[in-house]
Structure 1
Amino acid sequence: MKQLLSDFFHADYVNRFSFSLVYALLASVALNFFYEPGNIYANGATGLAQIISTVFQQFFHIDFPIGWVLLLINLPLFVLGWFKISRRFTVFTGITVVLTSLFMEFIPTEVLTTDPIICAIFGGVLTGAGIGYAFKNGLSSGGLDFITIYIRKKTGRDVGSLAIIFNGMIMFAAGVLFGWQYALYSALSIFVSGKVTDVVYTKQQKMQVMIITRQPDIVVETLQSHLRRGITIINNAQGAYTKEGEKVLFTIVTRYELPLLRQAMKESDKEAFVSITENVQILGNFYEEEL
């Protein structure tokens, strides 16, 4: 813990703090400008916090602010993050959650429109962009993100797709308690949010790369200087037209690393044939940076 606190003022961690501010602002604007005016339930822990807050208001006549409910929901999940994901990741996620809870309370609700479809789409875009932006910079919005990241590390499945499954359960509860029209519009928002998350958070999108080259040694050396990836070499390949000997290289990269791959190929062998297959599923060891 002392090391975490002493490292906080490192430039990289100061940047992460600024990223936390950006996410907190996006999530709070989505809630107070779109979700609340349109009676839309958000994804993840925020949606669960909305349900709990609404239950207290409608059934017990107690005003339980969403921001504070969100903070309480995250407390036990921090334990999962601390022991199963990363302590540094959990500390900065805690900062993100606290900032989000505060912003939700201090940013006033502004009714731009009450159209549920517009509110669902724009709220989902803002939320998904915020979650993807947080993930991309080594942070999390907390709540169900801890669970989805943990499962992704174990199975390799997309974060956005996992979030849709978990959030479907929340929407079912909202439909049972408050009416199915709210659940349906909220489902639209969750779908949009999950897709935007996958678009923004490109580190989880894996791509298979096949390289046919006559200069394998140079290509391998250049690739490994740019990327921390294993490479499989297939010898004795032959061009069907030229009958000349070639070698085939196989590797897996993330979409986030694609510009580095292009740069490495430009430096090593501009004449190489490169084939890229998107959204492949990986079993076994695959290096991912620590959160």
Structure 2
Amino acid sequence: MERLMRHLPYSNFATKFSTSVVYAIMASAAVNLFYEPGKIYSSGVTGIAQIIRTLGIELFGQSIPVSAALLILNIPLFLLGWYKISPKFTFFTGITVILTSLFMQIMPTQVLSTDPTINAIFGGAIMGAANGYVLKNNLSSGGLDFITIAIRKRTGKTIGSLSIFFNSIIMAAAGLLFGWQYALYSALAIFVSGKVTDAVFTKQKKMQVTIITSHPEEVVHGIHARLRRGITIINDAEGAFRYDHQKVLLTVVTRYELPFLKQVMKETDPKAFVSIADNVQILGRFYEEDL
């Protein structure tokens, strides 16, 4: 118990708990208001739980609640997250999963549209926004997130692209078992969810920044004071218009950190020329905040 308590940050417990509540409400709304009425299978462990429920009805005539299957399937993955990612991250993810299972159980299933395309798009958008929001706050919805986060740390792949890859396997299983029309609409929902996740979870998007400045010391000090990023300095650069001597600074930041970088440049050298290349790929070590 003492080891567990050392991992719990009392200062931001309320923030993380509120994040878990928001995710649980959004994910439950996506499933109960769009996925279930449209017979669309969700991504990750939630989709597996839906498949288990459908198999239970067709094979045994018994419906296993999606909320219960979701909770049970996450138990072995909690162990993976505890030892491979972070005990603190896993603890709060457990709270998120429990709340999600609870809200899925108590929130009524309501038919807002009978059009499967509408259900797939809106359900996927809500689920993707929920996933991106919870990841942005250093939490997770559990399930396959443990696996995708571990792979992202090693390969640099985005969470959304990894989710699309793993969930395509789930969709293939759903198509083989229940009909390809359900798999196709579910694939649309997963694609939308993955893209929205990447749009919201900006910490994983890397940007190369080239700074041409006459005040390199001030800029370097400002960046180091605000951001934990390395900087490469290229000396003896010369402008082709006035032939004045400049220095070129190269660094890589995430899209999440970009507003902080802009503020640093405004304070240290507002006349500097700054070029930003979006979505660059990194080979080698790149610091990412621990979960």
- Give the number of aligned pairs: 291
Cross-structure match for 1:290: 290
Counterpart-to-counterpart distance in 1, 2:152 and 2:159: 7
Partner of 2:54: 54
Secondary structure class of the residue paired with 2:38: coil
Summarize deviations over 1:13-34 as a string: whole Å, max 9, x none.
Answer: 1110110000000000110000
**Contact 2:7 / 2:88 at 8 angstroms: preserved in 1?**
no
CA distance in 2 between counterparts of 1:149 and 1:197 reads 13
User: Which residue matches 2:120?
Assistant: 120
RMSD of aligned residue pairs (Cα, Å) = 1.1
Aligned counterpart, 1:201: 201
Deviation (angstroms), 1:243: 1.3
Name the TM-score, length of structure 2 as normaliser.
0.98
- How far apart in 1 are the matches of 2:8 and 2:254? 28
- Asked whether the equivalents of residues 97 and 141 of structure 2 are also in contact (C-alpha less than 8 Å), the reply is yes
Distance 2:229 2:176 in 1: 48
Alpha-carbon shift at residue 9 of structure 1 (Å): 7.0
What is the 5 A alignment of 1:117-266?
117-266=117-266
Using the aligned pairs only, state the percent identity. Answer: 62
User: TM-score of the superposition, structure 1-length normalised?
Assistant: 0.98
1:279 paired residue number: 279
Q: Deviations over 1:25-55 (max 9, x none)?
A: 0000110000000000011111111011100
Structure 1: gaps spanning 5 or more residues: none
Measured at CA, do residues 40 and 215 of structure 1 come closer, stay the same or move farther in structure 2, by a change above 3 Å? same
* Other-structure match for 2:96: 96
Task: Give the gaps of 5 or more residues in structure 2.
Answer: none
Distance (Å, rounded) in 2 between the aligned partners of 1:189 and 1:2: 43
Q: 1:179 to 1:201 in 2, by over 3 A?
A: same
Deviations 1:258-285 (A, max 9, x none): 1000000000001100000010111111
Q: What is the distance in 2 between the residues matched to 1:267 and 1:9?
A: 33
CA distance in 2, matches of 1:17, 1:81: 18
Deviations 1:193-234 (A, max 9, x none): 000000100000000000001111111011111111110000
User: Greater CA deviation, 2-11 or 255-264?
Assistant: 2-11
Amino acid at match of 2:67: G
Does the CA-based 8 Å contact 2:7-2:87 persist in structure 1?
A: no
Q: 2:37 aligns to what? A: 37
SS at match of 2:221: helix
CA contact (8 A) 1:124 1:189 kept: yes
Distance (Å, rounded) in 2 between the aligned partners of 1:63 and 1:102: 17
Q: Report how far residue 6 of structure 1 moved.
A: 6.4
Matches of 1:148 and 1:163, distance apart in 2 = 7
Aligned partners of 1:7 and 1:13 also within 8 Å: no
